[in-house]
């Protein structure tokens, strides 16, 4: 039912796997920046595709999407998915990245203030954003199924 939005989410997951974690992956800022931009664009695109494409497949799905979108959004959406997308794609403001070594493993961390998300691993935030969208899409589909049975 949320076929196109889930396709975008799968692409976001693949892009997220290209972000460095541990000793593997790129360590230069320009490569990490490009990969983060791609990942953030895809994470925010999930909602756009859900609203603009998937919502047109059925009235029940359109209703479920609209209802879900009107609910309050958690910090992972407002500050990270939407906030960073806007900062990166609208103003090309990049978060500063620092590398932290924990027990011999290299982790990129955000250095900017962002609603309590400062110092959190970039890959952790991306993984939380992916989980958010998975639950969100599951909820939309459950709602749409209820509405379809009512029609």
Using DSSP, state whether 47 is helix, strand or coil. helix
**Residue 58 to residues 61, 62, 75, 98, Cα–Cα distance (Å):** 5, 6, 30, 46
The total number of structural domains in the chain stands at 1
Domain that holds residue 121: 3-150
Query: pLDDT in tens for each of the 151 residues of the chain?
Result: 899 999 999 999 999 888 766 545 556 667 777 888 899 999 999 999 999 999 999 999 999 999 999 999 998 898 888 888 888 888 888 766 666 666 555 566 655 555 666 666 777 788 899 999 999 999 999 999 999 988 7
pLDDT of residue 115: 65
CB 78 within 8 Å of CB 47: no
pLDDT of residue 70: 96
């Amino acid at each position: 039912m949320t076929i196109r939005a889930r396709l975008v989410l799968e692409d976001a997951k693949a892009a997220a796997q290209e972000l460095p974690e541990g000793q593997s992956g790129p360590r230069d800022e320009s490569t990490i920046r490009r990969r983060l931009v791609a990942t953030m664009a895809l994470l925010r695109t999930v909602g756009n595709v859900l609203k603009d494409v998937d919502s047109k497949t059925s009235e029940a799905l359109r209703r479920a999407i609209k209802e879900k979108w009107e609910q309050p959004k958690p910090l992972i959406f407002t500050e990270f998915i939407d906030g960073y997308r806007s900062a990166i794609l609208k103003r090309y403001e990049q978060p500063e990245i620092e590398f932290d070594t924990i027990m011999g493993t290299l982790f990129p961390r955000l250095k900017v203030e962002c609603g309590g998300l400062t110092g959190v691993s970039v890959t952790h935030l991306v993984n939380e954003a992916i989980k958010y969208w998975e639950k969100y899409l599951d909820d939309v589909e459950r709602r749409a199924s209820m509405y379809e049975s009512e029609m």
